[in-house]
C-alpha cells in the first residue's frame, strides 16, 4: 500500500523588527568628496598648473616659458586696462555670426535630406567633398572673394560649423524609431511640421552633440584664422592679440591669450551646453 505524499506544514515566522540599526549608512567623507565631479576636475587643473610652474622654474627662461604667476599677472593687467575684453568681444561677435549661420544652414540641409531623396543625395555628396577640407585652407579664397574684413572670417566659420552639425543631425534623424515616425504620419504631419514636432525632439541628443562639435571647430578655426588674417580696421580678436604679442616677444601675454581661449572654451562647454543638456535631454530622460 503506497504512502501518501509528504506535505510540509506551512507556517509563518515573525521576525523581530530592526529598530536599532540605521536604515542608511553614510559614505565616508573621502568617498563623498571624490564623487564630486567639480572637485576631481579641480584637482586635475591644479596638477596641470603645478607641472607648468615646475617646468618654468626648471627652465628659468621667461622668454621661452613664463610661469603661472607671471602669466596670471599679465592676464590681470590686460583685463584691467581693457585690451583683452575688447579682443574677446571682437572674437565673439564674429564667432556668433558664423556659428548661427552655419547651424541654421546645417539644420535646413538635414531637414531637406530627411524629407526628399534629392536632399539626401545632396547632403551626402557635399559632406563627402567638403567635410574633410580644413576650414583654414579656404581663407586665401575668402580673402580673394570678400577682401579684408569680417565677411571672410564668417565664411570660413560657416564652413567649419556646417558639416559636423549636419552630419550629427542627419545621424540623429536616421536613428528616430519607426514608431515615432508612424505616429507623426498618422497625425497627418509632413514637411516642416513633421521635422519640428517629431524628428528634432527625438534626435535632440545628436543635435546637441553636433552643436558642441561645431562650436569647438568654430572656436579653434577663428583663433587660427585671426592668427593668419590679423586685424581689419584695427578690430582684431584673441588670435590677433596672441600673434601681436608673439611678434613683440611678450611671451607672458601670449600665454595669457592662450589661457583666455581655454577658459572661454571650458565655460561655454561646462556652462552653456551643460545647462542646455540639463534642462532638455537629461530632464526628459534621454541621457544619463
Q: pLDDT tens digit string along 147-161? A: 777 888 889 999 999
More confident: 185 or 53:
53
Percent of the chain's residues with pLDDT above 90: 5
pLDDT reported for residue 101 = 93
Asked whether residue 92 carries a pLDDT value surpassing 60, the answer given is yes
**What is the average per-residue pLDDT within 238-246?**
85
Using one digit for the tens of pLDDT, what is the confidence trace for 38-90? 788 888 889 998 998 898 888 888 788 888 888 899 888 888 888 888 888 88
Distance spanning both ends of the chain, measured CA to CA: 66
**What is the average per-residue pLDDT within 233-253?**
80
Average pLDDT, the chain: 82
**What is the average per-residue pLDDT within 109-124?**
85
Long-range contacts of 125-134 (CB under 8 A, 24+ apart): 126/163, 127/163, 127/166, 127/167, 130/159, 130/163, 131/163, 131/164, 131/167, 133/159
pLDDT reported for residue 105 = 92
Give, in degrees to the nearest 5, the angle at Cα 115 between 119 and 206: 90
Lowest pLDDT segment from 25-29, 95-99, 206-210: 25-29
**What is the average per-residue pLDDT within 267-286?**
78
Chain center to CA of 269: 5
pLDDT reported for residue 100 = 92
Lowest pLDDT segment from 3-7, 125-129, 259-263: 3-7
More confident: 22 or 167:
167
Amino acid at each position: 500500500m503506497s504512502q501518501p505524499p509528504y506535505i510540509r506544514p506551512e507556517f509563518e515566522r515573525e521576525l523581530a523588527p530592526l529598530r536599532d540599526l540605521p536604515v542608511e549608512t553614510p559614505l565616508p567623507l573621502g568617498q563623498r568628496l571624490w564623487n564630486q565631479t567639480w572637485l576631481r576636475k579641480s584637482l586635475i587643473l591644479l596638477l596641470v598648473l603645478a607641472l607648468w610652474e615646475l617646468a618654468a622654474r626648471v627652465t628659468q627662461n621667461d622668454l621661452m616659458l613664463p610661469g603661472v604667476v607671471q602669466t596670471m599677472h599679465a592676464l590681470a593687467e590686460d583685463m584691467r586696462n581693457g585690451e583683452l575684453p575688447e579682443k574677446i568681444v571682437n572674437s565673439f561677435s564674429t564667432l556668433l555670426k558664423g556659428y548661427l549661420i552655419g547651424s541654421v544652414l546645417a539644420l535646413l540641409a538635414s531637414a531637406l535630406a530627411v524629407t526628399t531623396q534629392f536632399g539626401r543625395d545632396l547632403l551626402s555628396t557635399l559632406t563627402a567633398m567638403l567635410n574633410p577640407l580644413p576650414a583654414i585652407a579656404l581663407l586665401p579664397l575668402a580673402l580673394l572673394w570678400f577682401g579684408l574684413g569680417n565677411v571672410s572670417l564668417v565664411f570660413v566659420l560657416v564652413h567649419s560649423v556646417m558639416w559636423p552639425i549636419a552630419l550629427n543631425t542627419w545621424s540623429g534623424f536616421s536613428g528616430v524609431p519607426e514608431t515615432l515616425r508612424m505616429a507623426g504620419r498618422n497625425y497627418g504631419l509632413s514637411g516642416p511640421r513633421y521635422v519640428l514636432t517629431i524628428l528634432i525632439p527625438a534626435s535632440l541628443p545628436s543635435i546637441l552633440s553636433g552643436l558642441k562639435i561645431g562650436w569647438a571647430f568654430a572656436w579653434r578655426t577663428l583663433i587660427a584664422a585671426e592668427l593668419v588674417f590679423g586685424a581689419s580696421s584695427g578690430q582684431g580678436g584673441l588670435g590677433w592679440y596672441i600673434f601681436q604679442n608673439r611678434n613683440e616677444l611678450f611671451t607672458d601675454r601670449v600665454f595669457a591669450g592662450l589661457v583666455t581661449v581655454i577658459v572661454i572654451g571650458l565655460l561655454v562647454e561646462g556652462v552653456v551646453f551643460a545647462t542646455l543638456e540639463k534642462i532638455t535631454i537629461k530632464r526628459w530622460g534621454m541621457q544619463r
